[in-house]
Structure 1
């Protein structure tokens, strides 16, 4: 059976998966398979109140965008609605300046973490004690200079202290470090920085998808179809790398 003929499952980092009933070659599927189109359309609520819930930032879920500017704008908009005082925490960096600048582009935490009581945040590290995983969501209920108290969506309250993130070179040696609370505002996040996370609920804006495989990376962050809302999607947003497509066709040809 070829890859084109076989079904696929979107699988999270925690091995939870759900069938999309779409062949692995999503691009070909959406061009030729009405069932694939119907599947993706089913993740877009038709009722206005459901649509508003998913996109206005009032629910306990995260919106995934392709571009950082959209993420920053939406997070600040949602944070601005909260009437509590603003707290800012500067990330402390160490290492060569060139390595630090590179790390800033890829680190899971920003250069300045802005928080308010009741802010929706995402934990950006796995907890050594297993209390949360990278991608867990929660609400900030207390803020001090050394500690955050967070009410997790999964239940329970945890104390979170500042942690260090490191950038490794090709030999696995640390070349840069960033220290701050291991959280980020979670009303929105880029698809790129969502890699490695597991989300129970999320909405995905694919209107500006520009990289091959970007849609699949985004969709595979969620644990099940009940927690997924796809907004502003079109067939043009889902495409594969031409070299991958060529390799794929060569494998199919060998099987025939």
Structure 2
């Protein structure tokens, strides 16, 4: 049926998925638009983000292409797994999608990032889309589909069948082309763990059944507090409001630092003006740089001649130690460079 033809096909191997998507895209006579993923940060962290990102590094689209969204954006009205079709490209060549339920969406670029507290360590940017005539079972994890045509005849890992079959909202939307025994097998270690957890649960249930009233309530409260929970609902609500306020404050504090930076103030002067430590201002600078609001050329003015000449050896140390952490590099040079100097050097290395 026409509805069935609109469903995404799930396969266990990339070769099947790539073949189908390539064939379908070639059948469309419309102009092709290409979108290259942008990245910023240490190569190891960027590669980690790319491996976990459902959108491809090179996204190729045409009007008429069947797509699936790969990230949640509730404000724009799509989630990971929303299906649709490219209906146009705007004046900036950004894709416009009509979803399966008829909604028109102007697709924004989105970020995937690795953060350390308030500091962004690495970031990749791409349109949250991928071709969806076919996708792999592995890439479908986390998605919820109205329907899918599933081929598990070449399944090669424990749990692939569960992942594929559980993507579909209702049984009426599931079409199974084939399967093998591997697809539905459960890993032996999982079965052993499940048996262990069941035994522990039965033992705990038996012990708790002997408690009554106040003793049971006391035990429940002790469990909540041991897990880091709160018993006073008033304090919980207060803390929630404080967190919301602090998030808003964090956004404005970056903007304040950026405005002072644009006025030409030194980092030391910005710190004095704001009553903050130099380390805090540096963390703002790192975040603003990762956002693209401060450019490489602007950062270079922070480096004295001696420090600028030392950048190659500092960057080599960051590359050799791979993870982008400051302490190993600081120790490698026996304190020759301060942590703040290394933080600045790391920014240029990440770029």
Asked whether 1:152 is paired with 2:99, we answer yes
Q: Secondary structure at the match of 1:222?
A: coil
Asked whether 1:105 is paired with 2:34, we answer no
Whole-Å Cα distance in 1 between the matches of residues 3 and 67 of structure 2? 18
**Alignment-derived partner of residue 186 in structure 2:** 240
**Aligned pair in 2 of structure 1 residues 173, 241: CA closer, same or farther (>3 Å)?**
farther
**Alignment-derived partner of residue 79 in structure 1:** 25
Deviations 1:38-66 (A, max 9, x none): xxxxxxxxxxxx6x985xxxx22211122
Residue 15 of structure 2 is aligned with which of 51, 69, 80? 69
Which deviates the most, 96-105 or 215-224? 96-105
Whole-Å Cα distance in 2 between the matches of residues 98 and 53 of structure 1? 43
Asked whether 1:166 is paired with 2:113, we answer yes
Asked whether 1:226 is paired with 2:226, we answer no
Residues 146, 162 of structure 1: 8 Å contact kept:
no
Whole-Å Cα distance in 1 between the matches of residues 186 and 175 of structure 2? 22
Residues 68, 129 of structure 2: 8 Å contact kept:
yes
Deviation at 1:104, TM superposition (A): 2.1
- Within a 5 Å distance, the mapping from 1:167-186 to structure 2 comes to 167=114, 174-186=120-132
Q: Secondary structure at the match of 1:93?
A: strand
Higher-RCO chain (CA-CA 8 Å, sequence separation at least 6): 1
Deviation at 1:156, TM superposition (A): 1.9
Whole-Å Cα distance in 1 between the matches of residues 118 and 173 of structure 2? 36
Q: Secondary structure at the match of 2:86?
A: strand
Deviations 1:3-36 (A, max 9, x none): xxxxxxxxxxxxxxxxxxxxxxxxxxxxxxxxxx
Whole-Å Cα distance in 1 between the matches of residues 185 and 128 of structure 2? 33
Residue 83 of structure 2 is aligned with which of 116, 125, 137? 137
**Aligned pair in 2 of structure 1 residues 66, 109: CA closer, same or farther (>3 Å)?**
same
Larger radius of gyration: 2
**Alignment-derived partner of residue 122 in structure 1:** 68
Residue 154 of structure 2 is aligned with which of 208, 216, 229? 208
Deviations 1:92-111 (A, max 9, x none): 11111122223222211101
Whole-Å Cα distance in 2 between the matches of residues 173 and 65 of structure 1? 38
- Cα RMSD for the two superposed structures: 2.5
Residues 157, 182 of structure 2: 8 Å contact kept:
no
**Aligned pair in 2 of structure 1 residues 138, 53: CA closer, same or farther (>3 Å)?**
closer
**Aligned pair in 2 of structure 1 residues 110, 167: CA closer, same or farther (>3 Å)?**
farther
Give ranges in structure 1 of 5+ residues lacking alignment: 1-49
- Within a 5 Å distance, the mapping from 1:83-98 to structure 2 comes to 83-98=29-44
Residues 106, 193 of structure 1: 8 Å contact kept:
no
Select the structure that is richer in helix.
2
Give ranges in structure 2 of 5+ residues lacking alignment: 203-351
Whole-Å Cα distance in 1 between the matches of residues 57 and 122 of structure 2? 14
Deviations 1:96-143 (A, max 9, x none): 112222322221110100000010011112223262221111111112
Whole-Å Cα distance in 2 between the matches of residues 248 and 107 of structure 1? 30
Tell me the number of residue pairs that the alignment of Structure 1 and Structure 2 aligns: 201
